[in-house]
Amino acid sequence: MKTKLVIIGLLSILMIGCAAPNMKFSVPSSATIDQPADKALVYFIRPSNLGYKINAAIYDDKDFIGFVPYNQKLPYFAEPGKHLFMVVSEAADFINADLAAGKTYYIQVAPRMGMWRARFSLAPITKEDLQTERVQKWISTCRLIENKEGAEKWAKENEASVSSKREAYLEKWNARGVADQPTLNADDCE
C-alpha cells in the first residue's frame, strides 16, 4: 500500500511538472533604456538561481508586465505615484511602491521553495542597499531582457488562474497590516 502511494505521488509530481508551461517568454535585450522624464523606471531583478526553471510573472496591479528568469532584469516604465506590484507563480506576493518621475528603482524578485514549484516574493532594494557591493554586482551582472510575443498570450490564457491567486493571496497580504508589507519608497532610487 505504501509503495502504491509513493508511485501515485511521484506520478502526480511528474504530471504537474509536465503541465507547467514552457516559460521562455523573454529574450536578452540590447536596447538602450531612455527614460522619459515623466515616468519612473523600475527594474525587476532576479539575481538568484533558486527555482531557475520557473520564470516569475510580474504585474502592476492587474496589468501584466512580463516574466523575469534568473540572472535577468526586466525594465518597466511606470506612472509616478503609488503602485501595487505582484509576482505570480505557484502563489502570489506583493509589494507597495511609491514612485517619482525621472527616477530609477529596483525590486528584487526573490525565489523561495513552494509545494510543487518555486514561489517568489518581491523585496524593495532601498537607497542603502543600492550602495552595497552585493547589489551593485546584481545590477551589473543581471542581463537586461524584454518580453517575447508569447508572453502576452500566456497572460491572456492564464488570466483566470492569476486572478484567483491574486484574490486569495492579496487577502492574506492585506491581513499583515501596512507596517509588515514590503514597500519601495519614493527616495529608494538612483
Separation CA 98–CA 7 (nearest Å): 49
How do the domains of the chain map onto residue ranges?
A: 24-184
85 vs 21, higher pLDDT: 85
The per-residue pLDDT for range 35-94, each reduced to its tens digit, is 899 999 999 999 976 656 678 899 999 999 999 988 999 999 999 999 999 999 888 999
| Helix/strand/coil for 5 | helix
Average pLDDT over residues 27-38: 83
In which residue are the cell numbers 524584454 written?
Answer: 146
Per-residue confidence (pLDDT) for residue 104, from 0 to 100: 97
pTM, rounded to two decimals: 0.83
Amino acid at 142: C
Provide DSSP, 120-176.
Answer: EEEEE--TTGGGSHHHHHHHHHSEEEEE-HHHHHHHHHTHHHHHHHHHHHHHHHHHT
Per-residue confidence (pLDDT) for residue 114, from 0 to 100: 57
* pLDDT of residue 8 exceeding 90: no
CB atoms closer than 10 angstroms to residue 133: 7
